[in-house]
A and B are shown apart, each in its own frame.
Chain A
């Protein structure tokens, strides 16, 4: 059974289409990254999963329950770190977690939960005085209440310093190891690259890719880029290199040849290039997910234009 399944999900706010005909399946037990630039429809999708907002059309099933008609059952087994939330300024961290415990009807030690996210020493302080990072941890502690089957995290590393972001990733991995499905959105590629099994990229309400990170790299041919300095470089050399086996594309970039490698052997390509023009130096750049992401989202824009 899928942890999350959306079919034909569409949400319009007046004339604006926030999410358009989204079909998405998140399998049980995986860590699924939901990527997109700001305003792409990530939070809208998550808000629909949690029944904060109602879809214009389409269906959403979460943990086998309809998100709209059985939202309570969904949220009983789900932990949530919402986007653009606000804590109750006058209640302490402990009172926040106690509230979540009581609402979920489970018995756990609130301080132990706060300790897992490193805010136990502020348990009896009012949450209004917490820093952004502490609030984020506090809400994560609330999300972990009752050992949920699904964690929905909307931009979980917002407001966290690098250490905090690393701890967040560790908690995500730990929870996943306990069998929890993780669905989290981000516009920070590093976060996603580091922990996700699979990734969906959404842009302007439309799904542009769903794959593993390696799969995405292969699909976009931006897997590896080879920069080669040769003794002489002109258009004739570029054309000759572009015609070589194993070269996807060749361009002149800042006095160097920039080659994308279509085959596997960079070495063979380098040797062939050396026969055309003497190779003086080279470097290999593995594209980051950032590049993939920019490429996916800008390509869509070009098509639109």
Chain B
């Protein structure tokens, strides 16, 4: 059970970080401002028929899918590598615990910190929007919040896992930023490149997109997060015109599609992003000379 003690200690420590509170403050402001902007001028955000609570949720999801990765990098990139670089890991590891417990505790502690900070921001932002709209769908809001917290946990795991592979914070930074750039910023281009190569080095035709193109486009955690929300709130999604295509390529997920081309693929992808960094991070950390 030492992982729980490690997680508590890590939470206590990280919660006092000014960077974290600056981040929470920024997120609260962004969240409130975006709710305000969406409710005041929905036509700017692809909702000519006026603002709805469902539309607000999907609009907020779009913001969260950008903000969560950035926040996870800020809060987690030093979680293990920083302790190794400074030497505080020696205090931790000279106590009766195991590397597995230390790693699990770090993941849990940072996920809790991040979930707490962003959860506050989301509740404030959505609450503000709900008051402005005079409408609130409690079930949808709670579903949205839970999926977003799961997404936060996944991202914390990814960045802590990357941090656990190295004893240098500069390397941890490179890895975390590299992950963000490849999977969150440039993934559309990556998918396009794959299609280009698979199509015999010719530019893909949007009309004849293979079904797996959608699956590939769902690999980034934020795309999987968006799809998961669509899968859980399909009615709101269709009313808000929020098809997963928005988060990925032009590929459409029309009815009657196989599983790998349906929005439910998002759950599988998120689960993979939880397991993979845990395995890689643990194996590397367990083998390391501290």
| Selected interface stretch from B22-30, B35-43, B94-102, B269-277 | B94-102
In the bound assembly, the distance between CA atoms of A71 and B16 in angstroms comes to 32
Q: Given A47-B290, A85-B87, A87-B88, are A52 and B95 neighbors across the interface (CB < 8 Å)?
A: no
| Per-residue B-contact encoding for A25-65, CB less than 8 Å = 1, 0 else | 00000000000000000000001001111100000000000
In the bound assembly, the distance between CA atoms of A104 and B94 in angstroms comes to 11
Return chain A residues, CB-CB under 8 Å to B17.
90
Q: Given A103-B96, A104-B96, are A86 and B2 neighbors across the interface (CB < 8 Å)?
A: no
Least CB distance, B83 to chain A, in whole angstroms: 8
Return chain B residues, CB-CB under 8 Å to A86.
86-88, 91
| Per-residue B-contact encoding for A53-89, CB less than 8 Å = 1, 0 else | 1100000000000000001110110101011111110
Chain B, Cβ-Cβ closest to A91: B13
Taking a contact as CB atoms under 8 Å apart, the answer to whether B13 and A88 are in contact is yes
Least CB distance, A154 to chain B, in whole angstroms: 9
Taking a contact as CB atoms under 8 Å apart, the answer to whether A103 and B95 are in contact is yes
Taking a contact as CB atoms under 8 Å apart, the answer to whether B91 and A75 are in contact is no
In the bound assembly, the distance between CA atoms of A142 and B6 in angstroms comes to 15
Asked if A282 is an interface residue, CB under 8 A from chain B, the answer is no
Least CB distance, B216 to chain A, in whole angstroms: 39
Chain B contact patch, size range: 20 to 34
Asked if B284 is an interface residue, CB under 8 A from chain A, the answer is no
Chain A residues 252-300 with CB under 8 Å of chain B are none
Pick the residue among B2, B16, B88 that contacts A103 (CB under 8 A): B2
Among B16, B87, B90, B97, which residue has the most Cβ atoms of chain A within 10 A? B90
Return chain B residues, CB-CB under 8 Å to A91.
9, 12-13
Return chain A residues, CB-CB under 8 Å to B93.
50-52
In the bound assembly, the distance between CA atoms of A103 and B9 in angstroms comes to 10
Least CB distance, A98 to chain B, in whole angstroms: 9
Chain B, Cβ-Cβ closest to A90: B16
Least CB distance, B179 to chain A, in whole angstroms: 27
Least CB distance, B109 to chain A, in whole angstroms: 12
Least CB distance, B287 to chain A, in whole angstroms: 8
In the bound assembly, the distance between CA atoms of A78 and B95 in angstroms comes to 8
Number of residues on chain A facing chain B (CB within 8 A) = 34
Pick the residue among B13, B86, B90 that contacts A52 (CB under 8 A): B90
Asked if B238 is an interface residue, CB under 8 A from chain A, the answer is no
Taking a contact as CB atoms under 8 Å apart, the answer to whether A102 and B5 are in contact is yes
Taking a contact as CB atoms under 8 Å apart, the answer to whether A75 and B96 are in contact is yes
Taking a contact as CB atoms under 8 Å apart, the answer to whether B97 and A99 are in contact is no
In the bound assembly, the distance between CA atoms of A139 and B13 in angstroms comes to 17
Chain B, Cβ-Cβ closest to A152: B94
In the bound assembly, the distance between CA atoms of A247 and B90 in angstroms comes to 51
Chain A residues 211-226 with CB under 8 Å of chain B are none
Return chain A residues, CB-CB under 8 Å to B12.
91, 95
Asked if A250 is an interface residue, CB under 8 A from chain B, the answer is no
Chain A, Cβ-Cβ closest to B290: A52
Pick the residue among A47, A76, A80, A85 that contacts B88 (CB under 8 A): A85
Taking a contact as CB atoms under 8 Å apart, the answer to whether B96 and A50 are in contact is no
Asked if B49 is an interface residue, CB under 8 A from chain A, the answer is no
In the bound assembly, the distance between CA atoms of A13 and B290 in angstroms comes to 12
Least CB distance, B154 to chain A, in whole angstroms: 26
Asked if A100 is an interface residue, CB under 8 A from chain B, the answer is yes
Least CB distance, B103 to chain A, in whole angstroms: 14
Least CB distance, B197 to chain A, in whole angstroms: 39
Chain A, Cβ-Cβ closest to B14: A90
Chain B, Cβ-Cβ closest to A143: B94
Return chain A residues, CB-CB under 8 Å to B287.
54
Chain B, Cβ-Cβ closest to A80: B94
Return chain A residues, CB-CB under 8 Å to B13.
88, 90-91
Chain B residues 239-290 with CB under 8 Å of chain A are 287, 289-290
In the bound assembly, the distance between CA atoms of A86 and B87 in angstroms comes to 5
Chain B, Cβ-Cβ closest to A44: B289
Chain A residues 70-128 with CB under 8 Å of chain B are 71-73, 75-76, 78, 80, 82-88, 90-91, 95-96, 99-100, 102-105
* Listed A/B pairs (21) with beta-carbon separation below 8 Å: A52-B289, A53-B289, A54-B287, A71-B98, A73-B96, A75-B96, A78-B94, A80-B94, A82-B87, A82-B90, A85-B88, A85-B91, A86-B86, A86-B91, A90-B16, A95-B9, A99-B9, A100-B95, A103-B5, A103-B96, A105-B96
Contacts A85-B90, A103-B97 known; list 9 others, CB within 8 Å. A53-B289, A78-B94, A80-B94, A82-B94, A85-B87, A88-B9, A95-B12, A100-B95, A103-B2
A-B pairs with lowest CB-CB distance, top 10: A80-B94, A53-B289, A82-B90, A76-B96, A86-B86, A103-B95, A90-B16, A86-B88, A86-B87, A52-B290
